[in-house]
Amino acid sequence: MDIATIRSQIPTTKNVVYLNTGWSGPSPQAVVDAIGRMLAFENAEGPTSRPVLDRHREVKGEARAAFAHFVGARAEEITLTDNTTRGINIVLNGLRWQPGDEIVTDNLEHGSGLVPSYHLRRRHGVAVRIVKLAAADSEADILQKLEDAITPRTRLLLLSHIMYSTGLRLPLGEVQRMAHRRGARVLVDAAQSPGQVPLDMRALDSDYYAGPAHKWVLGPDGVGFLYVRRELLPELDPAEVSGHAALRYDQEGDFEPVTDSPEKFELTTMSIPLLAGAIEAIRFLQEVGMEAVQARWQALTERLRQDLAAIPGVAVTSPAAGPTASGLVTFVPSGWEPRDLVDALWRRDRIVARAVNYPPGVRASVDFFNNEEDLDRLVGALRALVQSGPPE
Ligand SMILES: Cc1ncc(COP(=O)(O)O)c(C=O)c1O
């Protein structure tokens, strides 16, 4: 698909300069249509009529298979969730912790990784060790710092594949293989990676990988997935359960739990229209091709970094082009509070970006559907705003 065709299918691109896929990506029209068709079908036939129930079962299977294919896993390894944070919680609250067990994480994590870890520390006495990573770290630096933090009590590393604030991308396969050699497993906060980079759970030696459909996958809010390697499913206890977690139960107390199915973590009713939308979003990305997606944001971000570097008073805080860089480009505009600059970009030029807190800055998410004109609009607006400074 050429870029004009891609943009013609994503309505947001006609109306605004959208540089916030890292928060929530704009959906292709086909995604919105798939959701609408499923809602209309449910409502026309009746939500529990035979044809609707049959279609619901099929769509759940198709969604599991679609996520599995998209990340290089088997359908029996995919739990359907509502977002990344749910998947992180399923794993953290499903492992059998002993006081004194340790988690290794880092200072660049999102609250969705840190807060559940701190919560675990309060509930189970798990120690949380925080490694200090920086955007300028090389792949070797990252590996070394993480390995140095591992002790014989370390059971789990909790790491983002791509850090939300600076866009730092980890050498995930090497990190996971190193952790396994040291006797630890790895839970990946994959909020920013599916749909941004090609993924293969087997090649990466993944244990647990939790992601959303609503960011770089360009699907709807409210759908996500959790990958758990097949062999690890039995030892992960669901903290919340429904009938899906019972192989057998009766009204007199008999209960045999499911052990090795990813469906044991799923509760009851979920939105089938939203799943239909997520399936369509994955189809769209697969048609474009994940290698092409990655090559395009790489080229666009290289151009953007150069243009930003040429603006006096703007300092880029993301990694330089290379294996640790991603489609997230963050910068500090001198004289401006990041939040105020984000507001000014919207008011002046309908540019959608976001402010991040740690380290502080303005983050532009550059995705394959963006074009050079989007970047020129951002650079032009920034030049003018940094020169004029914030309003009195
Ligand atoms: C690294 C990271 N983790 C977790 C989240 C939360 O994602 P979700 O809304 O899918 O739970 C985000 C959202 O911005 C994120 O960037």
Amino acid at 349: D
Q: What is the DSSP string of 120-150?
A: HHHHH--EEEEE---TT--HHHHHHHHHHH-
117 and 128 in contact (C-beta within 8 Å)?
yes
Residues 25 and 367 sit within 8 Å (Cβ to Cβ) = yes
Query: Whose C-alpha lies nearest to ligand 1, atom 16?
Result: 164
Q: Whose CA is nearest to atom 7 of ligand 1?
A: 84
Contact 318, 306 (CB under 8 A): no
Give me the pLDDT at residue 257, please.
Answer: 97
Joined together, the tokens standing for residue 195 give 């749909």
Peptide bond into 312 cis (omega under 30): no
How many A from CA of 22 to the centre of ligand 1?
Answer: 8
Q: If you search the block for the tokens 């429904």, which residue do you land on?
A: 242
pLDDT reported for residue 347: 97
Structure tokens at 54: 């049959």
10-residue averages of pLDDT along the chain (392 residues): 96 98 98 98 98 98 98 98 98 96 98 98 96 98 98 98 98 98 98 98 98 98 98 97 96 96 97 98 98 98 97 97 98 97 98 96 98 98 96 84
Ligand 1 center to 175 CA (angstroms): 21
Amino acid at 320: A
Domain boundaries, the chain: 3-28+289-387, 33-286
pLDDT at residue 56, as a whole number: 98
Dist. CA 215 → ligand 1 center (Å): 9
Atom of ligand 1 nearest to the CA of 109: 1
Topology adopted by domain 33-286: Aspartate Aminotransferase; domain 2 (3.40.640)
Task: Name the CATH superfamily housing domain 3-28+289-387.
Answer: Aspartate Aminotransferase, domain 1 (3.90.1150.10)
Integer Cα distance of 43 and 165 in angstroms: 42
**Considering the entire predicted model, what is its pTM?**
0.98
User: In sequence order, which ranges of 72-185 are alpha helices (DSSP H)?
Assistant: 84-92, 111-124, 139-149, 172-181
Closest CA to 311 of 377, 383, 387, 389: 383
CA distance 84 to 98: 25
Count of residues in the chain: 392
Pocket probe mutation, ligand 1, options 164, 165, 221, 358, max atoms within 8 Å of Cβ: 164
Distance 83 CA to ligand 1 centre (A): 8
For 54, phi then psi, to 5°, come to -65, -45
Name residues contacting ligand 1 (CB within 6 A): 23, 83-85, 110, 112, 160, 164, 189, 191-192, 212, 224
- 289: which residues sit within 8 A by CB, 6+ positions away? none
The beta strand positions in the chain, using DSSP E, are 17-18, 78-81, 102-106, 127-131, 154-160, 185-189, 208-212, 224-228, 246-249, 255-257, 314-316, 328-333, 351-352, 354-356, 361-365
